[in-house]
């Protein structure tokens, strides 16, 4: 399954899921049940709660420069391609990678000079990194133990966390005997057991197979919704980001390129990377009434009436291909293209087209056969104005 | 001259063979010589095998099996064997206490001159043991640069004592442990230590509660190698600690001495050392070769 398809599904399921998630009266449920134990949260009176960070990390040719703010209860997803700096940002928040500049404040307390072990930060690592020589219970008890609890207290707290994660019967199991989903929950319990004010999750679902993923994603969403402090998760999977997070921060090449709610980003992508992720053809141009003049390209007719720099987006499924120039078509947008490549895309064929307007088009296998599509073939593409979407750049 | 019982030439390689060998080979074993082994390789290979095995067979062939029980129950043999085991074990303990932290430092902390330090640590590995003994005398002997102060201030004399044996053996054996443990540490995922840090563990706590258990097999393998090397140590021991029965005369020294006066006793003593070596190897096999 490709990103685009997932994304389209995400968009569909998103509304219902957000509705469920809306009942955030549940927030603070963990706080209410009160896990005893030292939590290093010396909040100065009147200080702004939550995360206020400007992360600058210089690594020779690579520079990360990302501003990040979040209120308690927020779940923020850092989304971006591999090598964009998401994990570096997460490590900087945890203190595992030192900052070269900027600042990091959590509930008003400056943390940029604080050692990782003294930060009120919990991390769920990619591949979880459960200590292989300790049982699930002792993995979870590790944090409370380091924060000064006695062995018995730490174990009691850990047992409570495992119970909450529905893992009570696996308390005595070593990590290698746990399934991927169970290991993920143990890792989450371990991170939460120190009562962090900032929870970081690095690709929390990447290590799971497709079937487990769905179930674990749902559970994780519930646990994140109950978490009362700030949660930041890193992912390259738009579906994970959109299901789990209230807000997306898209990072490319060490910089924030777009920020907003999942719905907003899915509808109004501002870079090719995001457009590709959410499965849209995206062009930047200049609008004059209902016509958008694409930079170095043709004009696209849209329904929106705008002026100035804009983006135009339309899904590949909105593109219709013709072997010969269509005559009776009502479509306002007509371009001649050359097929550059074909790939299967679920039960459809996605054609990559070049020409005056490079675009992606989805069509059924039967249609592809009837059109005799092959790389190098010349086709005509039409898109109805009603299926395009223009918005200010 | 090399010491009478040479340990494997590099500990890391030996440890790798002991731990990783069978795992790597599993499922890829070629049956017999079916694929046709080239003669220019096969002949020297068999020659090499014979070269290594033949002396051991000769030792068994020439063993005076009739007088063996008497030889082995003589107080001199027991004395030397007890001293050998005691000193080798003590030397291994010393190596563990100071060698494991040294290995951690080399593997986990970046500091200027780390390459040089690693080279210095490895040096006793290739240094002729006799030279090691002389060097120890210069450092810890009664007139040595440190030894004179030990003598003057605390009245401590190290050369020609049982403690001296332990020091000489540890000097020669510790590099085996350090190199082996450092290799294991480098192979171990440092992200576990980061995970421990995010849970509130100080670096030392992370080392004690996470790293140490994770690298325990590597430490054990390194300790066994160091122990075996210490047990066979000859050159540094005789130079630094002398050859006093009951005090500094370990098995290898006893073998060497007996060979000149009583060859049968020498063979019997050698047989004991051989048996100990085989037992160590067998123990290692059970622990790390079949388990993995």
Q: What is the ipTM of this complex?
A: 0.73
Residues of A in contact with B192 (CB under 8 A): 129, 131
How many angstroms away from the CA of B206 is the closest CA of chain A?
10
Q: Looking at the partner chain, which of A96, A118, A133 has a beta carbon nearest the beta carbon of B214?
A: A133
Q: Once rounded to an integer, what is the mean pLDDT over residues B20-30?
A: 46
Structural tokens at position A70: 């979040």
Domain assignment present for residue B110? The answer is yes
pLDDT (0 to 100) of residue A24: 40
Q: Hey, is A54 helix, strand or coil?
A: strand
- Residue intervals of chain A classified under CATH 2.40.50.100 are 280-392
Q: Once rounded to an integer, what is the mean pLDDT over residues B227-252?
A: 90
Q: Which of A123, A129, A139 is most worth mutating to test chain B (most B CB atoms within 10 A of its CB)? A: A129
Is the pLDDT reported for residue A26 higher than 50? no
How many angstroms away from the CA of A134 is the closest CA of chain B?
9
**What is residue B8's DSSP assignment?**
P
pLDDT tens-digit readout, A135-172? 999 999 999 999 999 999 999 999 999 998 889 999 99
Q: Once rounded to an integer, what is the mean pLDDT over residues B268-284?
A: 84
Domain assignment present for residue B215? The answer is yes
Say if the Cβ atoms of B201 and A142 lie within 8 Å. yes
Provide the total of helices (H) and of strands (E) in chain B, helices listed first.
14, 0
Residue in this structure with the two tokens 């020439």, named with its chain if needed: B62
pLDDT (0 to 100) of residue A39: 40
Residues of B in contact with A142 (CB under 8 A): 196, 199, 201, 209
Say if the Cβ atoms of A129 and B210 lie within 8 Å. no
| Cβ neighbours, 10 Å, residue A365 | 11
- The answer to whether A143 contacts chain B (CB < 8 Å) is yes
Return the residue of B nearest to A125 by Cα.
Answer: B195
Burial level of A216, CB count in 10 A (0-12/13-18/19+)?
Answer: buried
Model confidence at B53, pLDDT cuts 50, 70, 90, reads: very high
Which residues lie closer than 8 Å to A203 by C-beta, 6 or more apart?
A126, A234, A235, A236
pLDDT (0 to 100) of residue A69: 92
How many angstroms away from the CA of B281 is the closest CA of chain A?
26
- The phi-psi region of residue B102 (left if phi > 0; otherwise alpha if psi is between -120 and 50; otherwise beta) is alpha
Query: What whole-number distance in Å separates Cα of residue A161 and Cα of residue A158?
Result: 5
pLDDT (0 to 100) of residue B3: 42
pLDDT (0 to 100) of residue A11: 44
CATH number of A280-392: 2.40.50.100
Is the CB of residue A282 less than 8 Å from the CB of residue A269? yes
Domain assignment present for residue B194? The answer is yes
Domain assignment present for residue B24? The answer is no
More confident residue, A208 or B134: B134
pLDDT (0 to 100) of residue A176: 93
pLDDT (0 to 100) of residue B90: 97
Q: Looking at the partner chain, which of A117, A122, A129 has a beta carbon nearest the beta carbon of B191?
A: A129
Structural tokens at position A269: 């992508």
- The answer to whether A38 contacts chain B (CB < 8 Å) is no
Is the pLDDT reported for residue A211 higher than 90? no
Model confidence at A198, pLDDT cuts 50, 70, 90, reads: very high
CB pairs under 8 A between A and B: 60
pLDDT (0 to 100) of residue B259: 87
- Residue intervals of chain A classified under CATH 3.40.50.300 are 3-34+47-130+178-274
**What is residue B7's DSSP assignment?**
P
Burial level of B172, CB count in 10 A (0-12/13-18/19+)?
Answer: buried
Is the pLDDT reported for residue A199 higher than 80? yes
- The phi-psi region of residue B4 (left if phi > 0; otherwise alpha if psi is between -120 and 50; otherwise beta) is alpha
Query: What whole-number distance in Å separates Cα of residue B222 and Cα of residue B11?
Result: 7
The domain tally of chain B equals 1
Q: Looking at the partner chain, which of A95, A121, A125 has a beta carbon nearest the beta carbon of B195?
A: A125
- The answer to whether A133 contacts chain B (CB < 8 Å) is yes
How many angstroms away from the CA of B16 is the closest CA of chain A?
21
What range defines the domain where residue B204 resides?
76-289
Is the pLDDT reported for residue A322 higher than 70? yes
| Cβ neighbours, 10 Å, residue B194 | 21
- The answer to whether A39 contacts chain B (CB < 8 Å) is no
Return the residue of B nearest to A115 by Cα.
Answer: B197
Residues of B in contact with A122 (CB under 8 A): 198-199
Q: Looking at the partner chain, which of B202, B209, B213 has a beta carbon nearest the beta carbon of A117?
A: B202
**What is residue A393's DSSP assignment?**
-
| Cβ neighbours, 10 Å, residue A370 | 11
Phi, psi of B232 (to 5 degrees): -95, 0
Between positions 364 and 393 of A, the ones with CB within 8 A of B are: none
- Topology of domain A3-34+47-130+178-274, CATH: Rossmann fold (3.40.50)
Query: What whole-number distance in Å separates Cα of residue B221 and Cα of residue B187?
Result: 15
pLDDT (0 to 100) of residue B287: 56
Is the CB of residue A134 less than 8 Å from the CB of residue A172? no
The highest-confidence range among A360-364, B18-22, B61-65, by mean pLDDT, is A360-364
Burial level of B1, CB count in 10 A (0-12/13-18/19+)?
Answer: exposed
**What is residue A128's DSSP assignment?**
B
Domain assignment present for residue B208? The answer is yes
pTM over 0.90: no
pLDDT (0 to 100) of residue B21: 43
**What is residue B60's DSSP assignment?**
H
Domain assignment present for residue B180? The answer is yes
The highest-confidence range among A201-205, B168-172, B225-229, by mean pLDDT, is B168-172
Query: What whole-number distance in Å separates Cα of residue B206 and Cα of residue A216?
Result: 29
pLDDT (0 to 100) of residue A303: 87
| Beta pairing partners, A249 | A78, A259
**What is residue A229's DSSP assignment?**
S
Say if the Cβ atoms of A146 and B201 lie within 8 Å. yes
pLDDT tens-digit readout, B186-196? 988 889 999 99
pLDDT (0 to 100) of residue A193: 94
Is the pLDDT reported for residue A261 higher than 70? yes
Domain assignment present for residue B36? The answer is no
Among B78, B81, B99, B102, CA closest to B226: B99
Is the pLDDT reported for residue A68 higher than 70? yes
E strand or H helix that includes residue B70: helix B68-73
How many angstroms away from the CA of A184 is the closest CA of chain B?
14
Instruction: Tell me what the pLDDT averaged over chain A comes to.
Output: 84
Is the pLDDT reported for residue A56 higher than 50? yes
pLDDT tens-digit readout, A339-392? 998 888 888 889 999 988 889 999 888 888 888 888 888 999 999 888 888 998
Residues of B in contact with A114 (CB under 8 A): none
Q: Once rounded to an integer, what is the mean pLDDT over residues B268-280?
A: 86
| Cβ neighbours, 10 Å, residue A116 | 23
- CATH number, domain with residue B214: 1.10.3720.10
Structural tokens at position B222: 């390194």
pLDDT (0 to 100) of residue B117: 93
Q: What are the start-end ranges of the E strands in chain A?
A: 51-59, 62-70, 75-79, 101-106, 109-110, 121-124, 198-202, 230-235, 247-252, 255-260, 281-294, 299-314, 319-322, 333-345, 348-355, 359-364, 378-383, 389-392
Q: How would you list the strands of the sheet with A281-294, edge to edge?
A: A281-294, A299-314, A389-392
Is the pLDDT reported for residue B6 higher than 80? no
C-alpha R_g of chain B: 22
């Amino acid at each position: 399954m490709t990103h685009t398809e997932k994304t389209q599904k995400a968009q569909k399921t998103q509304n219902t899921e957000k509705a469920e998630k809306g009942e955030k009266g549940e927030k603070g449920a963990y706080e209410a049940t009160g896990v005893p134990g030292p939590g290093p949260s010396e909040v100065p009176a009147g200080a702004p709660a939550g995360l206020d960070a400007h992360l600058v990390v210089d690594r020779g040719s690579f520079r990360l420069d990302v501003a990040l703010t979040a209120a308690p209860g927020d779940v923020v997803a850092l989304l971006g391609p591999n090598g964009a700096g998401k994990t570096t940002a997460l490590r900087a928040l945890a203190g595992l990678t030192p900052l070269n500049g900027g600042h990091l404040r959590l509930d008003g307390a400056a943390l940029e000079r604080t050692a990782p072990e003294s930060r009120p930060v919990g991390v769920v690592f990619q591949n979880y990194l459960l200590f292989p020589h300790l049982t699930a219970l002792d993995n979870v008890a590790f944090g409370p133990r380091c924060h000064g609890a006695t062995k018995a207290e730490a174990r009691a707290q850990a047992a409570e966390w495992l119970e909450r994660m529905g893992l009570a019967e696996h308390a005595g199991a070593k990590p290698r005997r746990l399934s991927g989903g169970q290991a993920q929950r143990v890792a989450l319990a371990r991170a939460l057991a120190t009562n962090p004010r900032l929870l970081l999750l690095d690709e929390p679902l990447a290590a799971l197979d497709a079937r487990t993923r769905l179930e674990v994603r749902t559970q994780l969403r519930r646990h994140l919704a109950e978490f009362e402090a700030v949660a930041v998760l890193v992912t390259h999977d738009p579906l994970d980001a959109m299901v789990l997070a209230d807000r997306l921060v898209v990072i490319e090449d060490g910089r924030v390129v777009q920020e907003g709610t999942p719905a907003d980003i899915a509808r109004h992508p501002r870079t090719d990377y995001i457009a590709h992720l959410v499965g849209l053809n995206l062009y930047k141009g200049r609008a004059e009434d209902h016509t958008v003049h694409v930079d170095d390209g043709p004009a696209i007719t849209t329904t929106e009436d705008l002026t100035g720099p804009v983006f135009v987006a339309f899904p590949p499924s909105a593109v219709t291909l013709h072997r010969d120039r269509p005559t009776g078509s009502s479509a306002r947008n007509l371009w001649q293209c050359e097929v550059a490549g074909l790939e299967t895309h679920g039960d459809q064929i996605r054609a990559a087209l070049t020409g005056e307007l490079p675009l992606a088009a989805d069509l059924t296998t039967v249609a592809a056969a009837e059109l005799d599509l092959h790389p190098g073939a010349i086709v005509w593409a039409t898109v109805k104005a009603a299926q395009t979407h223009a918005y200010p750049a | 001259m090399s010491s009478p019982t040479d340990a494997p030439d590099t500990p890391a390689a030996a440890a790798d063979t002991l731990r990783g060998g069978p795992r790597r080979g599993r499922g890829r074993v070629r049956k017999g010589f079916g694929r046709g082994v080239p003669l220019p390789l096969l002949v020297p290979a068999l020659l090499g095998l014979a070269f290594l095995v033949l002396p051991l067979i000769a030792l068994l062939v020439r063993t005076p099996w009739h007088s063996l029980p008497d030889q082995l129950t003589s107080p001199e043999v027991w004395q030397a064997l007890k001293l050998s085991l005691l000193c080798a074990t003590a030397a291994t303990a010393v190596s563990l206490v100071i060698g494991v932290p040294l290995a951690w430092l080399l593997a986990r902390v970046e500091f200027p001159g780390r390459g040089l330090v690693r080279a210095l640590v490895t040096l006793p590995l290739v240094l002729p043991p006799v030279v090691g003994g002389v060097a120890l005398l210069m450092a810890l002997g009664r007139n040595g640069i440190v030894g004179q102060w030990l003598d003057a201030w605390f009245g401590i004399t190290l050369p020609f004592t049982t403690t001296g044996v332990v020091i000489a053996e540890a000097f020669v054996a510790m590099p085996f442990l350090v190199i082996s443990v450092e290799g294991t540490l480098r192979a171990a995922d440092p992200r576990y230590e980061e995970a421990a840090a995010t849970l509130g563990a100080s670096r030392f706590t992370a080392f004690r509660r996470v790293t140490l258990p994770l690298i325990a097999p590597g430490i054990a393998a390194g300790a066994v190698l160091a122990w075996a090397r210490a047990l066979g140590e000859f050159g540094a021991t005789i130079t630094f600690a002398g050859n006093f029965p009951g005090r500094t005369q370990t098995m290898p020294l006893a073998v060497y001495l007996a060979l000149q006066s009583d060859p049968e006793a020498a063979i019997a003593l050698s047989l004991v050392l051989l048996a100990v070596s085989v037992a160590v190897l067998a123990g290692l096999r059970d622990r790390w070769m079949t388990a993995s």
